[in-house]
Amino acid sequence: MATESRHLSIHIDRPVADVYAFVSDPTNLPRWAPGLGQEVVQVDGRWYVETPAGRAQVTFAPDNPFGVLDHDVVTPTGEDVHVPMRAIVDGDGTEVVFTLRRAPGMSDADLDRDEGLVTADLALLKRVVEGTDA
């Protein structure tokens, strides 16, 4: 069964290599996605984010020249969430595309809420990477 996806994007006035390097570093997650968690730790080669609900494991796609920033999040309840994400050359800058997927049983209101949260995270990512965030 196919799931509903929403492709959310933002243009960042920085070269794709800079954006990719920043986003692919798990230690930067609290700087651009603070709703996920404020503390990132590495334990035995695995990355974890301390969330309000407990520790979540985050695994990014291996380094690659294609801008693939996909990551898997294993929530504190054990749910495995795959997050497709890309950094794409856009002139002298970068387009970041985040694919938001409707989880099974997710209401329209919850999906709209998640879209708002991701949109805010992307706007923060833009400000941080461009150096305009105070």
Q: What span, in angstroms and rounded, lies between the C-alpha atoms of 87 and 12?
A: 10
Task: Give me the pLDDT at residue 1, please.
Answer: 56
- Domain count across the chain: 1
The residue range of the domain holding 108 is: 5-130
Q: Which residues pair with 9 in a beta bridge?
A: 97
Element (H, E) at 94: strand 93-101
- CB contact at 8 A, 100 and 8: yes
Average pLDDT over residues 120-128: 97
- Answer whether residue 37 shows pLDDT above 90: no
Question: How large a percentage of the chain has pLDDT more than 90?
Answer: 88
Task: Report the CATH number at residue 106.
Answer: 3.30.530.20
Taking only the tens place, the pLDDT of each residue in 65-83 is: 999 999 999 999 999 999 9
- CB contact at 8 A, 131 and 124: no
Predicted structure pTM score: 0.92
- pLDDT category, 90, cuts 50, 70, 90? very high
Tokens 């799931």 correspond to 3
